[in-house]
Amino acid sequence: MPISDARTSSHISTLSDDKRWQAVLAREASCDGQFVFAVRTTGIYCRPSCSSRLARRENVRFFATPLLAERAGFRACKKCHPRSAVRPIHPAVVATCQRIEHSSTPLTLDELAAEVGLTGPHLQRIFRRTLGVSPKQYALAERQQRLHQQLEAGASILDAMHASGARSTSQIYGPKSARSGLSPAERRRQAATTTLATIVAPTWLGSLAIAATERGIVAMELADSAAAAEQLLRKRFPRAAFVPASEQLTRWALLAVASIERPTQSVELPLDVQGTAFQRRVWQELQNIPAGATRTYQQIARAIGQPTAARAVGTACGKNPIAVAVPCHRAVTQSGRITGYRWGKDRKAKLLERESQP
């Protein structure tokens, strides 16, 4: 794609949030591809022309691209399919994002630019025009995401820093997290006091244990008994305080059970999952696979723009914390053989069999 095509997204930066909101209110189709808007209460992002019921302005965030919305934890609307409105992204930007996400150590702008055959300033310009952030800011967000995962799992700051790929504490203690404004020490203390509402419900697949924050569901675990399902939640969140389900979580649980009982019925659940940028892209793509269908790991890798990452896709499926609603059971090998499933291969086979029925 010629570089001039990437400049079409430069108009994004000239639109204020007020103008974007007016475009959403008018369902302005001419703005599709220029930005997306996300709704905090549902965890979904849409194109400006989406015909869904409008959210309250205070619950809406704007993003330059679907990629940035997904990095912030939102998932694509199944009604307006905002990804299909995306304008072509310069291949150098795609390659740079992939390099950053798979690098275990920080890379300089010049190193990134050399790998895509551009100068540093040139890469900086097209990257910022396309995504609204610099490669350095993108890399920082990626490191912080890895760091937060480790801290919230109870790791020490030094261990978490090592796992995130940061070379020094200054790379973490410098800019605060764009997501919460917390330092690593604060985030680790927060992890020790996280409160999760939980509920266990019976299903034909076994006991379904759900944990959630006020923002959405953080985990759905399946097991043979209620006690075993609850234990899986406690193992996943060893430092959290668990409280009985709120009315909101009870409603979400009813929807979750309905999605298991009637897999062909589309159910939107608000999710508050933590993962790397790559994992989130895989989990988002899994949600695009309709009930009754499967995709190979290679197909999923191609769908997210990383055709050589089939093995990493399999790993991301294994890290998925949301049973059934994020349908990693629909990911299969190239031969179609049913392989590992964190909630049991038998459950995976039963799910696929049930979803294949008319």
List the catalytic residues: 46, 328
Structural element, H or E, at residue 36: strand 36-39
Q: How is residue 329 written in tokens?
A: 């059971």
**Dist. CA 355–CA 204, nearest whole Å:** 13
Q: How is residue 76 written in tokens?
A: 């694509």
CA 311 and chain centroid, separation: 18
**Dist. CA 240–CA 154, nearest whole Å:** 10
Planar angle of CA 327, 263, 254, nearest 5 degrees: 95
**Dist. CA 322–CA 328, nearest whole Å:** 9
DSSP label at residue 354: H
DSSP label at residue 54: P
Q: Give the Å distances, CA to CA, from 154 to 78, 177, 188, 235, 300.
A: 35, 18, 7, 11, 31
| Conformation bin of residue 65: beta by default, left when phi > 0, alpha when psi is -120 to 50 | beta
